């Protein structure tokens, strides 16, 4: 018999709870069929909290028993809290690891010809690596912010952890001038999804969100900067692949 869970999470026009999405994703990965009950207004959320005598949402119920929020779910499934993933040295490791990889990529490339195309590709590649570095310094914070607007991360929460590594990989390969076929599809994929997600969130749904493009603790508003990042990846990937 399939395992079933009921999840109450907040999802209004003004606020899409990242912990609700993470809770749903965790339950599904643990083999549960999720009865996803969204709370679509602040009033509805407050009424739910009062009825169940809880201070926060989301709240998950398994076999009629309230398990609690996202951290409680992780404990229920014997998983460490996300805040304990990595260590205080993670930002330093990320910085020096990517610095070493950038150095290796430049060495593999050799002497860069003084021409427009390789200069632009090098610039985009380095920009992608530096942006990935910002995200990797606190990948948990990045994923919390990223999941509130990226269309794929909303459905598959772990994509928020994959994205910075995919961006770094494509940027490093571009710097090293490796064959386009091994990195262009990655740049096209993440760039296209990112661009569509930003356009929908900012210009269609008119949501005011913080941009995770320079890390999860950024105060930069979602909009032109993130859209430029994603269009740059998409355009570079298409150009190199089609060329």
The pLDDT of 107-119, averaged and rounded, is 68
Express each pLDDT in 15-70 by its tens digit: 899 999 999 999 999 999 999 999 999 999 999 999 999 999 999 999 989 999 99
In the CATH hierarchy, which fold is given to the domain comprising 3-82? Glutaredoxin (3.40.30)
Q: In sequence order, what are the residues at sequence separation of 6 or more whose Cβ sits closer than 8 angstroms to the Cβ of residue 220?
A: 210, 211, 213, 214
Segment 155-175, tens digit of pLDDT: 999 999 999 999 999 999 988
Coil, helix or strand at residue 218: coil
pTM of this structure: 0.75
Which has the closest alpha carbon to 150: 216, 199, 204? 199
C-alpha 201/C-alpha 204 separation (Å) is 6
Instruction: Please report the pLDDT score of residue 106 as a whole number.
Output: 75
Mean pLDDT of 201-207: 90
Q: Is 177 in contact with 209 (CB distance < 8 Å)?
A: no
Q: Which ranges of the chain would DSSP assign to H, the alpha helix?
A: 18-29, 42-52, 70-76, 90-109, 116-136, 139-146, 151-155, 159-175, 184-198, 224-242
Can you give the residue ranges of every domain in the chain?
A: 3-82, 87-242
Q: What is the DSSP string of 134-156?
A: HHHTTHHHHHHHHTTT-HHHHH-
Instruction: Give the Cα separation of 242 and 230 in Å (integer).
Output: 18
């Amino acid at each position: 018999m399939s395992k079933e869970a009921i999840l109450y999470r907040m999802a209004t026009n003004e606020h899409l709870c990242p912990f609700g999405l993470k809770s749903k994703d965790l339950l599904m990965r643990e083999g549960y069929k999720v009865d996803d009950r969204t709370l679509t207004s602040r009033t509805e959320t407050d009424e739910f909290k009062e009825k169940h005598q809880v201070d926060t949402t989301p709240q998950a119920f398994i076999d009629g028993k309230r398990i609690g929020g996202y951290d409680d779910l992780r404990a229920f499934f014997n998983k460490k809290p996300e805040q304990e993933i990595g260590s205080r040295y993670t930002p330093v490791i990320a910085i020096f690891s990517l610095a070493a990889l950038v150095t290796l990529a430049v060495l593999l490339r050799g002497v860069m010809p003084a021409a427009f195309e390789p200069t632009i590709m090098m610039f985009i590649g380095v920009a992608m690596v530096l942006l990935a570095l910002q995200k990797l310094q606190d990948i948990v914070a990045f994923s919390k912010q990223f999941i509130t607007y990226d269309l794929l991360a909303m459905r598959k929460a772990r994509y928020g952890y994959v994205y910075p590594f995919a961006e770094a990989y494509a940027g490093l390969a571009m710097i090293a001038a490796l064959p386009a076929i091994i990195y262009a599809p990655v740049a096209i994929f993440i760039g296209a999804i990112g661009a569509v997600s930003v356009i929908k969130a900012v210009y269609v749904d008119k949501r005011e969100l913080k941009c995770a493009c320079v890390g999860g603790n950024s105060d930069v508003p979602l909009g032109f900067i993130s859209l430029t990042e994603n269009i740059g990846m998409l355009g570079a990937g298409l150009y190199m692949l089609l060329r």
